[in-house]
Amino acid sequence: MTFETSEPAAPAADQPVVPVAPPPSPSVPATGAAVGRPPTSEVPLVEVEGLVKYYPIMGGFLRRHVGDVKAVDGVSFWVNRGEVLGLVGESGCGKSTLGKTLIQLTPPTAGLAKLDGEPIFGKKGKDLKKLRRRMQIIFQDPVGSLNPRMPISDIIGEGLLAQADAENRWGDRKVRDKRVGDYLDAVGLRRDYTRRYPHEFSGGQRQRIGIARALALSPDFLICDEPVSALDVSIQSQILNLLLDLRREFDLTYLFIAHNLSVVQYISDRVGVMYLGKLVELAEVEELYRRPRHPYSVALLSAVPDANPRVRKKRLVLTGDVPSPAAPPSGCHFHTRCWLYEQLGQPEVCTTADPEFRDIGDGHLVACHWAEKVPTAVVASAVPTAEVTTDTVAMPAAGIPAAPPIDAGPPTEEATASGT
Ligand SMILES: Nc1ncnc2c1ncn2[C@@H]1O[C@H](COP(=O)(O)OP(=O)(O)O)[C@@H](O)[C@H]1O
Ligand code: SF4
Ligand SMILES: [Mg+2]
Protein backbone atom coordinates (compact mmCIF):
# COMPACT_ATOMS: atom_id res chain seq x y z
CA MET A 1 0.00 0.00 0.00
CA THR A 2 1.23 3.49 -0.73
CA PHE A 3 0.29 6.69 0.99
CA GLU A 4 0.76 9.06 -1.93
CA THR A 5 -2.92 9.35 -2.74
CA SER A 6 -3.96 12.98 -2.57
CA GLU A 7 -5.47 13.19 0.87
CA PRO A 8 -7.29 16.29 2.05
CA ALA A 9 -5.28 18.38 4.49
CA ALA A 10 -6.33 18.20 8.13
CA PRO A 11 -9.38 20.45 8.47
CA ALA A 12 -9.37 23.22 11.02
CA ALA A 13 -11.21 22.38 14.23
CA ASP A 14 -13.92 24.96 13.49
CA GLN A 15 -14.38 23.79 9.91
CA PRO A 16 -16.00 20.37 9.89
CA VAL A 17 -15.64 18.30 6.75
CA VAL A 18 -18.88 17.42 5.00
CA PRO A 19 -19.15 13.65 5.38
CA VAL A 20 -19.32 11.58 2.24
CA ALA A 21 -20.34 7.98 1.85
CA PRO A 22 -17.71 5.60 3.27
CA PRO A 23 -15.66 3.74 0.69
CA PRO A 24 -17.04 0.38 -0.35
CA SER A 25 -15.60 -2.54 1.61
CA PRO A 26 -13.97 -5.40 -0.22
CA SER A 27 -15.79 -8.69 -0.08
CA VAL A 28 -15.30 -10.97 2.89
CA PRO A 29 -12.71 -13.70 2.23
CA ALA A 30 -13.66 -17.31 1.79
CA THR A 31 -14.58 -19.16 4.96
CA GLY A 32 -11.69 -20.93 6.61
CA ALA A 33 -9.12 -18.19 5.94
CA ALA A 34 -8.49 -15.49 8.51
CA VAL A 35 -9.59 -12.01 7.37
CA GLY A 36 -7.28 -10.40 4.83
CA ARG A 37 -4.84 -13.29 4.63
CA PRO A 38 -3.11 -13.13 1.27
CA PRO A 39 -3.83 -16.13 -0.95
CA THR A 40 -0.82 -18.39 -0.53
CA SER A 41 -0.18 -22.09 -0.61
CA GLU A 42 1.53 -21.98 2.77
CA VAL A 43 -0.80 -22.59 5.70
CA PRO A 44 -0.11 -20.11 8.53
CA LEU A 45 0.92 -21.72 11.80
CA VAL A 46 -1.99 -20.07 13.61
CA GLU A 47 -5.32 -18.91 12.18
CA VAL A 48 -8.01 -17.25 14.26
CA GLU A 49 -11.46 -16.50 12.89
CA GLY A 50 -14.15 -14.53 14.73
CA LEU A 51 -12.84 -15.31 18.21
CA VAL A 52 -15.21 -14.20 20.97
CA LYS A 53 -14.74 -14.44 24.73
CA TYR A 54 -17.41 -13.01 27.01
CA TYR A 55 -17.23 -13.23 30.80
CA PRO A 56 -20.76 -13.46 32.21
CA ILE A 57 -21.86 -10.87 34.78
CA MET A 58 -24.07 -12.41 37.45
CA GLY A 59 -26.26 -10.12 39.50
CA GLY A 60 -29.26 -9.86 41.77
CA PHE A 61 -30.41 -12.04 44.62
CA LEU A 62 -30.65 -15.15 42.42
CA ARG A 63 -27.27 -14.52 40.78
CA ARG A 64 -28.82 -14.36 37.34
CA HIS A 65 -26.91 -13.67 34.14
CA VAL A 66 -27.40 -9.92 33.69
CA GLY A 67 -24.78 -9.11 31.06
CA ASP A 68 -21.33 -9.89 29.71
CA VAL A 69 -17.87 -8.39 29.80
CA LYS A 70 -17.06 -8.50 26.09
CA ALA A 71 -13.33 -9.04 26.60
CA VAL A 72 -12.68 -10.36 23.06
CA ASP A 73 -15.40 -9.54 20.58
CA GLY A 74 -14.85 -11.10 17.16
CA VAL A 75 -11.12 -11.11 16.47
CA SER A 76 -9.58 -12.59 13.30
CA PHE A 77 -5.91 -12.80 12.37
CA TRP A 78 -3.20 -15.23 11.34
CA VAL A 79 0.40 -15.82 12.39
CA ASN A 80 2.87 -17.07 9.80
CA ARG A 81 5.40 -19.71 10.71
CA GLY A 82 8.51 -18.16 12.24
CA GLU A 83 7.10 -14.65 12.58
CA VAL A 84 6.54 -12.43 15.62
CA LEU A 85 3.06 -10.95 15.66
CA GLY A 86 2.91 -8.09 18.16
CA LEU A 87 -0.35 -7.13 19.86
CA VAL A 88 -0.76 -3.71 21.49
CA GLY A 89 -3.55 -1.82 23.16
CA GLU A 90 -4.55 -0.12 26.38
CA SER A 91 -4.92 -2.06 29.59
CA GLY A 92 -8.22 -3.96 29.67
CA CYS A 93 -8.69 -4.13 25.87
CA GLY A 94 -8.59 -7.94 25.92
CA LYS A 95 -4.99 -8.83 25.01
CA SER A 96 -4.44 -11.35 27.82
CA THR A 97 -7.89 -12.85 27.40
CA LEU A 98 -7.10 -13.43 23.73
CA GLY A 99 -3.84 -15.21 24.65
CA LYS A 100 -5.44 -17.29 27.42
CA THR A 101 -8.34 -18.31 25.20
CA LEU A 102 -6.02 -19.39 22.40
CA ILE A 103 -4.01 -21.53 24.76
CA GLN A 104 -7.20 -22.89 26.29
CA LEU A 105 -6.72 -21.61 29.81
CA THR A 106 -10.27 -20.36 29.39
CA PRO A 107 -12.88 -21.65 26.91
CA PRO A 108 -13.96 -19.44 23.99
CA THR A 109 -17.53 -18.16 23.71
CA ALA A 110 -17.43 -18.48 19.93
CA GLY A 111 -15.04 -18.58 17.01
CA LEU A 112 -12.45 -20.80 15.42
CA ALA A 113 -8.72 -21.17 15.87
CA LYS A 114 -6.34 -23.50 14.08
CA LEU A 115 -2.78 -24.62 14.66
CA ASP A 116 -1.17 -25.98 11.50
CA GLY A 117 -4.61 -26.22 9.94
CA GLU A 118 -5.97 -28.33 12.86
CA PRO A 119 -8.82 -26.89 14.99
CA ILE A 120 -7.60 -25.92 18.48
CA PHE A 121 -10.84 -25.70 20.42
CA GLY A 122 -12.87 -28.64 21.67
CA LYS A 123 -9.95 -31.06 21.94
CA LYS A 124 -9.92 -33.56 24.80
CA GLY A 125 -7.66 -36.20 26.35
CA LYS A 126 -4.57 -37.16 24.35
CA ASP A 127 -5.30 -34.65 21.57
CA LEU A 128 -5.51 -31.78 24.07
CA LYS A 129 -2.28 -32.93 25.76
CA LYS A 130 -0.48 -32.97 22.41
CA LEU A 131 -1.78 -29.53 21.52
CA ARG A 132 -0.82 -28.09 24.93
CA ARG A 133 2.75 -29.13 24.29
CA ARG A 134 2.87 -27.27 20.98
CA MET A 135 1.49 -24.01 22.40
CA GLN A 136 3.06 -22.44 25.45
CA ILE A 137 2.68 -19.14 27.29
CA ILE A 138 5.10 -16.86 29.16
CA PHE A 139 3.50 -14.53 31.68
CA GLN A 140 4.28 -10.99 32.70
CA ASP A 141 4.97 -11.74 36.32
CA PRO A 142 8.12 -13.84 36.65
CA VAL A 143 7.65 -13.89 40.44
CA GLY A 144 4.04 -15.00 40.64
CA SER A 145 4.32 -17.57 37.85
CA LEU A 146 7.05 -19.61 39.57
CA ASN A 147 6.10 -21.70 42.62
CA PRO A 148 8.34 -20.39 45.46
CA ARG A 149 8.37 -23.80 47.19
CA MET A 150 9.75 -25.70 44.23
CA PRO A 151 13.37 -25.93 43.09
CA ILE A 152 14.01 -24.95 39.47
CA SER A 153 14.41 -28.61 38.42
CA ASP A 154 10.81 -29.30 39.52
CA ILE A 155 9.41 -26.03 38.15
CA ILE A 156 10.70 -26.83 34.68
CA GLY A 157 10.41 -30.61 35.12
CA GLU A 158 6.70 -30.47 36.12
CA GLY A 159 5.57 -29.82 32.53
CA LEU A 160 7.93 -32.48 31.20
CA LEU A 161 6.55 -35.04 33.63
CA ALA A 162 2.98 -34.22 32.55
CA GLN A 163 3.98 -34.83 28.92
CA ALA A 164 6.17 -37.90 29.57
CA ASP A 165 5.78 -40.95 27.33
CA ALA A 166 7.78 -44.00 26.25
CA GLU A 167 9.34 -42.11 23.36
CA ASN A 168 10.66 -39.00 25.17
CA ARG A 169 11.35 -40.83 28.50
CA TRP A 170 10.76 -37.62 30.45
CA GLY A 171 9.39 -39.76 33.28
CA ASP A 172 12.99 -40.79 33.99
CA ARG A 173 14.50 -38.33 36.48
CA LYS A 174 17.94 -38.38 34.84
CA VAL A 175 16.58 -37.70 31.35
CA ARG A 176 14.39 -34.93 32.74
CA ASP A 177 17.17 -33.25 34.71
CA LYS A 178 19.46 -33.32 31.69
CA ARG A 179 16.78 -31.59 29.62
CA VAL A 180 16.19 -28.99 32.37
CA GLY A 181 19.93 -28.27 32.36
CA ASP A 182 20.00 -27.98 28.57
CA TYR A 183 17.23 -25.40 28.56
CA LEU A 184 18.73 -23.41 31.44
CA ASP A 185 21.81 -23.30 29.27
CA ALA A 186 19.79 -22.16 26.26
CA VAL A 187 18.34 -19.18 28.14
CA GLY A 188 21.75 -18.10 29.47
CA LEU A 189 21.61 -19.57 32.99
CA ARG A 190 24.00 -22.05 34.55
CA ARG A 191 22.96 -25.70 34.41
CA ASP A 192 23.79 -26.23 38.08
CA TYR A 193 21.04 -23.80 39.19
CA THR A 194 18.54 -26.65 39.11
CA ARG A 195 18.53 -27.16 42.92
CA ARG A 196 17.96 -23.48 43.67
CA TYR A 197 14.63 -21.78 44.45
CA PRO A 198 12.99 -18.82 42.65
CA HIS A 199 13.76 -16.31 45.43
CA GLU A 200 17.48 -16.83 44.80
CA PHE A 201 17.19 -15.22 41.37
CA SER A 202 16.79 -11.67 40.07
CA GLY A 203 13.71 -10.60 38.08
CA GLY A 204 15.40 -11.06 34.71
CA GLN A 205 16.67 -14.50 35.70
CA ARG A 206 13.21 -15.56 36.83
CA GLN A 207 11.82 -14.56 33.46
CA ARG A 208 14.58 -16.64 31.82
CA ILE A 209 13.44 -19.59 33.97
CA GLY A 210 9.85 -19.01 32.78
CA ILE A 211 11.09 -19.05 29.19
CA ALA A 212 13.12 -22.24 29.79
CA ARG A 213 10.03 -23.90 31.29
CA ALA A 214 8.02 -23.10 28.15
CA LEU A 215 10.77 -24.08 25.72
CA ALA A 216 11.60 -27.41 27.39
CA LEU A 217 8.39 -28.82 25.89
CA SER A 218 9.59 -27.99 22.34
CA PRO A 219 6.59 -25.82 21.42
CA ASP A 220 6.02 -24.34 17.96
CA PHE A 221 3.99 -21.37 19.13
CA LEU A 222 4.77 -19.19 22.13
CA ILE A 223 2.41 -16.58 23.53
CA CYS A 224 4.43 -13.95 25.36
CA ASP A 225 2.03 -11.94 27.55
CA GLU A 226 3.84 -8.74 28.55
CA PRO A 227 7.06 -10.70 29.22
CA VAL A 228 9.19 -7.62 29.85
CA SER A 229 6.69 -5.15 31.32
CA ALA A 230 7.53 -6.00 34.91
CA LEU A 231 11.29 -5.94 34.41
CA ASP A 232 13.81 -3.26 35.09
CA VAL A 233 14.36 -1.09 32.01
CA SER A 234 18.00 -2.19 31.72
CA ILE A 235 16.95 -5.86 31.58
CA GLN A 236 14.13 -5.50 29.06
CA SER A 237 16.25 -5.40 25.91
CA GLN A 238 18.29 -8.42 27.10
CA ILE A 239 15.14 -10.51 27.38
CA LEU A 240 13.83 -9.23 24.02
CA ASN A 241 17.11 -10.14 22.33
CA LEU A 242 17.07 -13.53 24.03
CA LEU A 243 13.57 -14.17 22.66
CA LEU A 244 14.73 -13.21 19.17
CA ASP A 245 17.77 -15.52 19.42
CA LEU A 246 15.62 -18.40 20.70
CA ARG A 247 13.16 -17.91 17.87
CA ARG A 248 15.94 -18.58 15.40
CA GLU A 249 17.49 -21.42 17.36
CA PHE A 250 14.24 -23.30 18.02
CA ASP A 251 12.13 -22.28 14.97
CA LEU A 252 9.58 -20.55 17.14
CA THR A 253 6.59 -18.40 16.26
CA TYR A 254 5.45 -15.74 18.74
CA LEU A 255 2.32 -13.83 19.61
CA PHE A 256 3.95 -11.00 21.55
CA ILE A 257 1.55 -9.02 23.74
CA ALA A 258 2.57 -5.67 25.24
CA HIS A 259 1.29 -2.18 25.99
CA ASN A 260 4.63 -0.55 25.12
CA LEU A 261 4.66 0.41 21.44
CA SER A 262 8.46 0.70 21.26
CA VAL A 263 8.94 -2.81 22.66
CA VAL A 264 6.46 -4.21 20.14
CA GLN A 265 8.09 -2.30 17.28
CA TYR A 266 11.49 -3.68 18.23
CA ILE A 267 10.52 -7.34 18.29
CA SER A 268 7.64 -7.72 15.81
CA ASP A 269 7.34 -8.51 12.12
CA ARG A 270 3.68 -7.51 12.03
CA VAL A 271 1.62 -5.66 14.62
CA GLY A 272 -2.05 -5.72 15.59
CA VAL A 273 -3.74 -2.92 17.56
CA MET A 274 -6.64 -3.80 19.85
CA TYR A 275 -9.36 -1.55 21.21
CA LEU A 276 -12.22 -2.71 23.42
CA GLY A 277 -12.08 -6.37 22.46
CA LYS A 278 -11.55 -5.82 18.73
CA LEU A 279 -8.57 -5.68 16.41
CA VAL A 280 -8.73 -2.24 14.77
CA GLU A 281 -5.54 -2.36 12.69
CA LEU A 282 -3.00 -4.97 11.58
CA ALA A 283 -0.02 -4.46 9.28
CA GLU A 284 3.68 -5.06 8.76
CA VAL A 285 5.57 -3.31 11.56
CA GLU A 286 7.19 -0.73 9.28
CA GLU A 287 3.90 0.04 7.58
CA LEU A 288 1.96 0.39 10.83
CA TYR A 289 4.53 2.62 12.53
CA ARG A 290 5.07 4.83 9.45
CA ARG A 291 1.61 4.89 7.90
CA PRO A 292 -1.02 4.04 10.53
CA ARG A 293 -4.54 4.30 9.11
CA HIS A 294 -6.75 3.86 12.16
CA PRO A 295 -7.33 7.04 14.19
CA TYR A 296 -6.68 5.07 17.41
CA SER A 297 -3.27 3.81 16.20
CA VAL A 298 -2.35 7.33 15.08
CA ALA A 299 -3.23 8.67 18.53
CA LEU A 300 -1.25 5.93 20.31
CA LEU A 301 1.82 6.54 18.14
CA SER A 302 1.58 10.29 18.68
CA ALA A 303 2.02 9.64 22.41
CA VAL A 304 5.32 7.76 22.02
CA PRO A 305 8.21 10.09 22.83
CA ASP A 306 10.51 10.45 19.84
CA ALA A 307 14.01 9.07 20.30
CA ASN A 308 15.30 12.18 18.55
CA PRO A 309 14.98 14.94 21.20
CA ARG A 310 14.92 17.64 18.49
CA VAL A 311 11.69 16.28 17.03
CA ARG A 312 8.58 17.93 18.48
CA LYS A 313 5.64 15.64 17.83
CA LYS A 314 2.02 16.70 17.66
CA ARG A 315 0.21 14.66 20.27
CA LEU A 316 -3.37 13.62 19.60
CA VAL A 317 -5.00 13.44 22.99
CA LEU A 318 -7.68 10.79 23.39
CA THR A 319 -10.51 12.41 25.29
CA GLY A 320 -12.66 10.56 27.80
CA ASP A 321 -12.20 7.24 29.52
CA VAL A 322 -12.07 3.86 27.83
CA PRO A 323 -15.73 2.70 27.80
CA SER A 324 -16.66 -0.42 29.74
CA PRO A 325 -16.34 -3.67 27.75
CA ALA A 326 -19.65 -4.63 29.40
CA ALA A 327 -21.41 -1.83 27.48
CA PRO A 328 -19.31 -0.90 24.44
CA PRO A 329 -20.50 2.07 22.34
CA SER A 330 -22.76 1.37 19.35
CA GLY A 331 -21.36 1.27 15.82
CA CYS A 332 -17.62 1.80 15.91
CA HIS A 333 -16.52 1.15 19.51
CA PHE A 334 -14.00 3.97 19.21
CA HIS A 335 -16.42 6.74 18.20
CA THR A 336 -16.72 8.19 21.72
CA ARG A 337 -12.99 9.07 21.66
CA CYS A 338 -12.25 9.42 17.97
CA TRP A 339 -10.62 12.64 16.78
CA LEU A 340 -11.38 11.81 13.12
CA TYR A 341 -15.08 11.34 13.89
CA GLU A 342 -15.08 14.88 15.32
CA GLN A 343 -13.08 16.28 12.39
CA LEU A 344 -15.44 14.71 9.89
CA GLY A 345 -18.46 16.29 11.57
CA GLN A 346 -19.66 13.19 13.46
CA PRO A 347 -20.84 11.04 10.52
CA GLU A 348 -23.80 8.91 11.50
CA VAL A 349 -22.33 5.68 10.13
CA CYS A 350 -19.71 5.71 12.93
CA THR A 351 -22.46 5.36 15.55
CA THR A 352 -24.62 2.87 13.68
CA ALA A 353 -22.34 0.44 11.83
CA ASP A 354 -19.47 -1.64 13.21
CA PRO A 355 -16.67 -1.05 10.67
CA GLU A 356 -15.52 -4.10 8.76
CA PHE A 357 -11.90 -5.19 9.31
CA ARG A 358 -10.87 -4.69 5.69
CA ASP A 359 -7.71 -4.91 3.63
CA ILE A 360 -6.73 -1.49 2.30
CA GLY A 361 -3.78 -2.95 0.38
CA ASP A 362 -0.86 -5.34 0.85
CA GLY A 363 -2.39 -7.02 3.88
CA HIS A 364 -2.83 -3.75 5.80
CA LEU A 365 -6.11 -4.28 7.66
CA VAL A 366 -8.13 -1.48 9.22
CA ALA A 367 -11.51 -1.31 10.94
CA CYS A 368 -12.53 2.26 10.16
CA HIS A 369 -15.18 3.50 7.72
CA TRP A 370 -12.97 6.50 6.96
CA ALA A 371 -9.43 5.06 6.95
CA GLU A 372 -8.77 6.71 3.57
CA LYS A 373 -9.62 10.09 5.10
CA VAL A 374 -6.94 10.04 7.81
CA PRO A 375 -4.94 13.15 6.82
CA THR A 376 -1.36 12.47 5.71
CA ALA A 377 -0.19 15.60 7.54
CA VAL A 378 -1.62 14.38 10.86
CA VAL A 379 0.05 10.98 10.43
CA ALA A 380 3.38 12.57 9.50
CA SER A 381 3.44 14.71 12.63
CA ALA A 382 2.35 11.86 14.90
CA VAL A 383 4.60 8.93 14.00
CA PRO A 384 8.06 8.40 15.50
CA THR A 385 10.90 9.46 13.19
CA ALA A 386 13.83 7.54 14.65
CA GLU A 387 14.52 3.82 14.35
CA VAL A 388 13.84 1.82 17.48
CA THR A 389 17.05 0.47 19.01
CA THR A 390 18.05 -1.34 22.17
CA ASP A 391 18.62 2.08 23.77
CA THR A 392 15.16 3.41 23.00
CA VAL A 393 13.18 0.21 23.27
CA ALA A 394 12.26 0.66 26.90
CA MET A 395 11.25 4.30 26.69
CA PRO A 396 7.88 4.75 28.39
CA ALA A 397 5.01 4.64 25.93
CA ALA A 398 3.02 7.60 27.19
CA GLY A 399 -0.70 7.25 26.65
CA ILE A 400 -0.86 3.52 27.29
CA PRO A 401 -0.92 2.90 31.03
CA ALA A 402 2.07 0.83 32.06
CA ALA A 403 1.76 -2.34 34.07
CA PRO A 404 2.62 -1.83 37.75
CA PRO A 405 6.30 -2.58 38.39
CA ILE A 406 7.07 -5.76 40.22
CA ASP A 407 9.86 -6.04 42.73
CA ALA A 408 12.55 -7.82 40.78
CA GLY A 409 14.20 -9.04 43.97
CA PRO A 410 17.73 -8.40 45.07
CA PRO A 411 20.46 -8.92 42.50
CA THR A 412 22.35 -12.10 43.23
CA GLU A 413 25.81 -13.32 42.36
CA GLU A 414 24.13 -15.18 39.45
CA ALA A 415 23.07 -11.82 38.10
CA THR A 416 26.65 -11.16 37.22
CA ALA A 417 27.14 -14.62 35.79
CA SER A 418 24.17 -14.45 33.41
CA GLY A 419 24.22 -10.77 32.69
CA THR A 420 20.92 -10.07 34.41
N1 LIG B 1 -11.78 -13.82 34.68
C2 LIG B 1 -12.41 -12.69 34.34
N3 LIG B 1 -13.69 -12.46 34.71
C4 LIG B 1 -14.33 -11.34 34.35
N5 LIG B 1 -13.79 -10.34 33.61
C6 LIG B 1 -12.53 -10.50 33.23
C7 LIG B 1 -11.74 -11.68 33.56
N8 LIG B 1 -10.50 -11.55 33.04
C9 LIG B 1 -10.48 -10.36 32.40
N10 LIG B 1 -11.69 -9.74 32.51
C11 LIG B 1 -12.07 -8.45 31.93
O12 LIG B 1 -11.89 -8.55 30.52
C13 LIG B 1 -11.38 -7.33 30.00
C14 LIG B 1 -10.10 -7.61 29.26
O15 LIG B 1 -9.10 -7.99 30.21
P16 LIG B 1 -7.63 -8.46 29.79
O17 LIG B 1 -7.75 -9.49 28.75
O18 LIG B 1 -6.90 -8.81 31.02
O19 LIG B 1 -7.05 -7.11 29.16
P20 LIG B 1 -5.53 -6.68 28.86
O21 LIG B 1 -4.68 -7.90 28.94
O22 LIG B 1 -5.59 -6.06 27.51
O23 LIG B 1 -5.18 -5.66 29.92
C24 LIG B 1 -11.22 -6.38 31.18
O25 LIG B 1 -12.35 -5.55 31.25
C26 LIG B 1 -11.13 -7.32 32.36
O27 LIG B 1 -11.61 -6.68 33.52
S1 SF4 C 1 -15.22 4.44 12.00
FE2 SF4 C 1 -15.58 6.56 12.60
S3 SF4 C 1 -15.41 6.54 14.84
FE4 SF4 C 1 -14.52 4.64 14.11
S5 SF4 C 1 -12.35 5.08 13.94
FE6 SF4 C 1 -13.26 5.50 11.93
S7 SF4 C 1 -13.77 7.67 11.97
FE8 SF4 C 1 -13.40 7.04 14.07
MG1 LIG D 1 -2.95 -8.26 30.13
Q: Check residue 173 and give its pLDDT.
A: 95
Mean per-residue pLDDT for 254-274?
95
- Cβ(286)–Cβ(55) under 8 Å? no
The residue whose C-alpha atom lies closest to atom 5 belonging to ligand 2 is 368
Alpha-carbon span 398 to 342, nearest angstrom:
23
- Cβ(296)–Cβ(288) under 8 Å? no
| DSSP conformation class of 15 | S
Dist. CA 313 → ligand 2 center (Å): 23
C-alpha 178, offset from chain centre? 33
Model pLDDT for residues 268-289, shown as the tens digit of each residue: 999 999 999 999 999 999 999 9
Alpha-carbon span 40 to 221, nearest angstrom:
20
Mean per-residue pLDDT for 53-78?
94
What percent of the chain has pLDDT above 90?
Answer: 67
Alpha-carbon span 374 to 363, nearest angstrom:
18
Helices assigned H by DSSP within 62-168? 95-102, 125-134, 152-162
Alpha-carbon span 369 to 332, nearest angstrom:
9
Q: Check residue 385 and give its pLDDT.
A: 73
Report whether residue 261 contacts ligand 1, using a CB cutoff of 6 Å: no
Q: How far lies 192's CA from each of 161, 182, 201, in Å? A: 20, 10, 13
- Cβ(356)–Cβ(382) under 8 Å? no
Q: Which ligand is nearest to the CA of 334?
A: 2
Q: Is the pLDDT of residue 244 over 80?
A: yes
Tell me the pLDDT band of 228, cut-offs 50, 70 and 90: very high
| DSSP conformation class of 52 | E
Q: Which ligand is nearest to the CA of 92?
A: 1
Q: Pocket residues for ligand 2 (CB within 6 Å)?
A: 295, 332, 334-335, 338, 340-341, 350, 355, 368-370
Q: For ligand 1, what atom is nearest to the CA of residue 89?
A: 22
Report whether residue 323 contacts ligand 1, using a CB cutoff of 6 Å: no
| Backbone phi, psi, residue 39, to 5° | -65, 115
Model pLDDT for residues 102-124, shown as the tens digit of each residue: 999 999 999 999 999 999 999 88
Q: Check residue 407 and give its pLDDT.
A: 34
pTM: 0.86
Q: For ligand 2, what atom is nearest to the CA of residue 295?
A: 5
What percent of the chain has pLDDT above 70?
Answer: 81
Q: Check residue 406 and give its pLDDT.
A: 31
